Amino acid sequence: MGPFWEQVKHVKVEEGMKASVDADICTGCGLCCDMCPEVFEMGDSVARVRVSDVPDSATASCREAAEACPVEAIRITT
């Protein structure tokens, strides 16, 4: 498995990416909304996803937001 195969596999994983916020865990800090406004927005007191399918242009920032969430409330599925 060389670098090229790894690159192809990575692209395939990114297709059909979905994100969700666990409202029971989210503290409403707003960090994800700042980092990836294409996908996350603030609801009444917690963040929520604006789109069920993460657009290709937002997959990187969506992953960064999930990693940055202080309480790990963001789930990403592919």
- The region of 5-13, 54-62, 63-71 touching ligand SF4 under the rule CB under 6 A is 63-71
CB of 5 to ligand SF4, least distance (A): 33
In the window 27-56, what residues touch ligand SF4 (CB under 6 A)? Answer: 27-32, 46-47
Residue 54, classified by CB atoms within 10 Å of its CB into exposed (0-12), middle (13-18) or buried (19+), is buried
- The region of 5-13, 21-29, 51-59 touching ligand SF4 under the rule CB under 6 A is 21-29
